[in-house]
Amino acid sequence: MPDYPNLSKTLDALCRGETDTVALMATIACELHHAHVLSDWTGFYRVTEPDLLKIGPYQGGHGCLVIPFSRGVCGAAARTGQPHLVPDVDAFPGHIACASSTRSELVLPVYNGAGRLLGVLDLDSDTPAAFTDTDVCELTGLMARLFRDAV
């Protein structure tokens, strides 16, 4: 599990005053990927049109290019506006296997301060049950704070 207090301080310093969504996503994906040792893919899918996500900044192997809100864990998080903590992706109906090595996943919806859905944060791991409720809580708070002024 990451050292969330340290990660928070680092991201606050790096992202201070930034409002560009893609710049924020790129910086956060990089820092979070290196901070969470069990995440082998860390990145964002951006809302580019109604009910559609497209790949955004990420760290790790390739990701899926397009994900409709109707498919997969990322689509479910975007559609419902709720975090999805999936300890076993094989048990998630409709899971999209962008990488065959993925065993667990955590996806959080990302909103700006005006309540507009910007996209989702996606963490994948080749380790079953790699993510916890603590990850959900800490990352939800970080995303709300860091994207508050994003446009």
Report pLDDT digits (tens) over 23-36: 999 999 999 999 99
Q: What is the mean pLDDT of residues 5-29?
A: 97
This prediction's pTM: 0.96
Q: What is the mean pLDDT of the chain?
A: 96
CA gap 145, 113 in Å, rounded: 8
Of 69, 79, 52, 75, the closest CA to residue 122 belongs to 75
| 124 CA to centre of own chain | 9
For 6, phi and psi rounded to 5 degrees? -70, -45
Q: In the CATH hierarchy, which fold is given to the domain comprising 4-146?
A: Beta-Lactamase (3.30.450)
Q: What pLDDT does 94 receive?
A: 80
DSSP states along 101-119: T--EEEEEEEE-TT--EEE
For 29, phi and psi rounded to 5 degrees? -60, -45
As beta bridge partners, residue 68 has 52
State pLDDT tens for residues 58-78. 999 988 999 999 999 999 999
Q: What is the mean pLDDT of residues 73-93?
A: 95
State pLDDT tens for residues 94-129. 888 787 889 999 999 999 999 999 999 999 999 999
Q: What is the largest CA-CA distance in the chain?
A: 41
CA gap 52, 59 in Å, rounded: 21
